[in-house]
């Protein structure tokens, strides 16, 4: 196949063999969200570029170099494939006045797009499940979100595979104080800053703390800590979150260097990480963003939320050996002959009326070759129909998984036999 017709680099097909894993994950997630009273929100995959620039921050990796942005040639608008879900969620809440009667707990699931260098666990189209609680100021919601995470890991068979790191970024004033101290500190060590850090020194010095450059790790470790600048209110909030975790028996580590790659956060931030997936070990991340609703034009509204990377969690489930429930076909209908083909169509529909999962062989072929397909389909039974059976209104039922003899029965009795077996 010519390269120009292949899938875009970093964007993957979900193949049939992976379907059971995705469906199991999604089913568990939906039940888990319902158990906490969250409501689904679906937003468009395309938004105006300005939304993400305003929400995520101009001087962030996402906005500076990872967005799929293009001009709609039909009207000259700059549009962007969503790199994350929080901005869209807040936009939709403001635009549709969702908060008119108080707070809302929302969730979304779907593809996100970032032009990153693809590698294991990092894709240009990836999927997130995210939740956003809009309109709640207290630490109780931060705690709820962390408890939700812990419960979900258990339900996915991942307890013990992920650990929690938390931090507080404080409010605007503590951040301004810390920012000033950081600038002074990095100015004093300017020679050790790489190009990225030089560029961000005055625009977004906090982001320098997030550097992956090994040569800058010592410098960054010794930098002034935001934690030391927290005001009393931020400290109380952070203490309450930690208390909530302790009360619930959830282990965590305070990581004062955790700053996140998006600018909208304040107060609590956190990441759930694993050491079992190599370099891309953050499976879920989020925190509080009390300023974002107002920043996007809504009434000042406190908020918090998180998003998880679906591909990373699925890889972790496989790595951890989480059992994947299969959902096999009940029957594969083998049919040879013209009258048999007509009767097989009717028979298959009849069984589906009774709620059975039935694949009808297509494309002809001998009994032998059809039986091979029946076996490979994973179906519990082969239903064998020749012109002979068709004439008699009967079906030969052959168990493919459990033992047992082949039996020839009236079509009316097949459902009962299959439901029993
Ligand atoms: P984020 O940390 O940018 O936060 O992304 C959340 C999660 O998405 C990551 O922890 C990771 O598991 C997954 N992820 C991110 N980029 C990729 C990629 N290129 N390939 C595969 N997986 C990826 C947010 O997006 C925030 N909106 C989270 C949030 C919600 N904060 C508050 N509410």
Q: Which pLDDT score is estimated for 402?
A: 83
- Is 95 among the annotated ligand-binding positions? no
Q: Which residue, 286, 320, 354, sits at the end of a domain? A: 320
Q: How many CA within 13 A on the CB side of residue 194? A: 14
**Pure H helices in 230-359:** 232-248, 292-295, 310-320, 338-353
Q: Which pLDDT score is estimated for 257?
A: 85
Question: Is the Cβ atom of 283 under 6 angstroms away from ligand 1?
Answer: yes
Does residue 20 sit in the same domain as residue 48?
yes
Does residue 260 sit in the same domain as residue 400?
no
Does residue 150 sit in the same domain as residue 249?
yes
- Is 105 among the annotated ligand-binding positions? no
- d(CA 340, CA 357) in angstroms, rounded, equals 20
Does residue 302 sit in the same domain as residue 366?
no
Specify whether the backbone of 332 is left (phi greater than 0), alpha (psi in -120 to 50) or beta: beta
Stretch among 43-52, 145-154, 198-207 having the lowest mean pLDDT: 198-207
b vs e for 39-73, b when ≥16 Cβ sit within 10 Å of the residue's Cβ?
Answer: eebebeebbebebbbbbbbebbbbbbebbbeeeee
Q: Note down the domain range covering 28.
A: 16-170+230-320
- d(CA 295, CA 40) in angstroms, rounded, equals 23
Which residues have CB under 8 Å from 382's CB, separation 6+? Answer: 331, 332, 333, 334, 371, 374, 375, 397, 398, 400
Question: Is the Cβ atom of 57 under 6 angstroms away from ligand 1?
Answer: no
Identify the residue whose C-alpha is closest to ligand 1 atom 18.
122
Does residue 141 sit in the same domain as residue 241?
yes
Rounded average pLDDT over 44-72: 96
Q: Which pLDDT score is estimated for 153?
A: 98
Q: Which pLDDT score is estimated for 352?
A: 97
Instruction: Tell me, letter by letter, the H, E, C secondary structure of 11-64.
Output: CCCCCHHHHHHHHHHHHHHHHHHHHCCCEECCCCCEEEHHHHHHHHCCCCHHHH
- Is 265 among the annotated ligand-binding positions? yes
Q: Which residue, 320, 341, 359, sits at the end of a domain? A: 320
Q: How confident is the model at residue 406 (pLDDT cuts 50, 70, 90)?
A: very high
Does residue 367 sit in the same domain as residue 236?
no
Share of the chain above pLDDT 90, in %: 92
Query: Best substitution site from 128, 262, 310 to test ligand 1's pocket, by max atoms within 8 Å of Cβ?
Result: 128
By CB atoms closer than 10 A (0-12, 13-18, 19+), residue 366 is exposed
Question: Is the Cβ atom of 284 under 6 angstroms away from ligand 1?
Answer: yes
Place of tokens 């507080």: 168
Nearest CA to 152 among 322, 20, 304?
Answer: 322
322-372 tens-digit pLDDT: 999 988 999 999 999 999 999 999 999 999 999 999 999 999 999 999 999
Q: Which pLDDT score is estimated for 377?
A: 96
CA of 168 to the centre of ligand 1 (A): 18
Q: Kindly state whether residue 111 falls inside one of the protein's structural domains.
A: yes
Q: How confident is the model at residue 84 (pLDDT cuts 50, 70, 90)?
A: very high
Q: Kindly state whether residue 176 falls inside one of the protein's structural domains.
A: no
26-36 tens-digit pLDDT: 999 999 999 99
Question: Is the Cβ atom of 130 under 6 angstroms away from ligand 1?
Answer: yes
Q: Kindly state whether residue 371 falls inside one of the protein's structural domains.
A: yes
Global pTM reads 0.94
pLDDT of residue 187 exceeding 80, the answer is: yes
Does residue 143 sit in the same domain as residue 268?
yes
126-140 tens-digit pLDDT: 999 999 999 999 999
Mean pLDDT across the chain:
96
Rounded average pLDDT over 296-313: 98
CA of 47 to the centre of ligand 1 (A): 18
Q: How many CB atoms lie within 10 A of CB 354?
A: 13
pLDDT of residue 249 exceeding 80, the answer is: yes
257-278 tens-digit pLDDT: 898 889 999 999 999 999 999 9
pLDDT of residue 206 exceeding 90, the answer is: no
Q: Which two tokens stand for residue 104?
A: 């809302």
Q: Which pLDDT score is estimated for 20?
A: 94
* Total of domains in the chain: 2
Ligand 1 atom closest to Cα of residue 86: 27
Does residue 54 sit in the same domain as residue 166?
yes
pLDDT of residue 232 exceeding 80, the answer is: yes
Question: Is the Cβ atom of 165 under 6 angstroms away from ligand 1?
Answer: no
Does residue 278 sit in the same domain as residue 374?
no
pLDDT of residue 403 exceeding 90, the answer is: no
pLDDT of residue 7 exceeding 80, the answer is: yes
Q: Kindly state whether residue 202 falls inside one of the protein's structural domains.
A: no
């Amino acid at each position: 196949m010519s390269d120009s017709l292949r899938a875009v680099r970093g964007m993957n097909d979900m193949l049939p063999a992976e379907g059971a894993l995705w469906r199991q994950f999604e089913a568990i997630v939906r039940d888990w969200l319902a158990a906490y009273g969250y409501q689904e929100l679906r937003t468009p995959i395309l938004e105006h570029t300005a939304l993400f620039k305003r929400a995520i921050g101009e001087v962030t990796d996402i906005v500076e170099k990872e967005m799929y942005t293009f001009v709609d040639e039909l009207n000259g608008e700059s549009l962007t494939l969503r790199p994350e879900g929080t901005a869209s969620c807040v936009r939709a809440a403001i635009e549709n006045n969702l908060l008119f009667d108080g707070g809302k707990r929302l969730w979304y699931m779907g593809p996100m797009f970032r032009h990153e260098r693809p590698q294991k666990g990092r894709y240009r189209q990836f999927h997130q499940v995210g939740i956003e609680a809009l309109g709640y100021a207290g630490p109780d919601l931060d705690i709820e979100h962390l408890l939700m995470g812990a419960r979900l890991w258990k339900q996915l068979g991942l307890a013990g595979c992920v650990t929690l790191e938390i931090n507080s970024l404080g409010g605007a004033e503590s951040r301004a104080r810390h920012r000033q101290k950081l600038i002074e500190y990095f100015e004093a060590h300017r020679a050790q800053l790489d190009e990225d850090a030089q560029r961000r020194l005055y625009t977004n010095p906090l982001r320098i703390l997030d550097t992956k450059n090994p040569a800058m790790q010592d410098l960054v470790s010794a930098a002034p800590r935001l934690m030391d600048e927290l005001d009393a209110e931020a400290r109380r909030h952070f203490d309450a979150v930690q208390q909530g975790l302790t009360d619930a028996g959830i282990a965590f580590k305070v990581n004062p260097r955790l700053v996140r790659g998006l600018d909208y956060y304040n107060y609590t931030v956190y990441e759930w990480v694993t050491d079992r997936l190599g370099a891309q070990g953050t499976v879920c991340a989020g925190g509080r963003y009390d300023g974002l609703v107002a920043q996007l034009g809504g009434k000042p509204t406190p908020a918090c939320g998180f998003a998880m990377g679906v591909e990373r969690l699925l890889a972790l489930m496989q790595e951890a050996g989480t059992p994947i429930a299969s959902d096999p076909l009940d029957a594969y209908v083998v049919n040879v002959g013209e009258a048999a083909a007509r009767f097989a169509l009717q028979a298959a529909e009849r069984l589906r009326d009774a709620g059975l999962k039935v694949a009808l062989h297509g494309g002809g072929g001998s009994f032998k070759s059809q039986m091979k397909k029946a076996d490979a389909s994973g179906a519990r039974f082969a239903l064998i129909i020749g012109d002979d059976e068709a004439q008699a209104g009967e079906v030969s039922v052959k168990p493919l998984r459990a033992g047992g003899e082949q039996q020839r029965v009236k079509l009316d009795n097949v459902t009962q036999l299959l439901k029993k077996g």
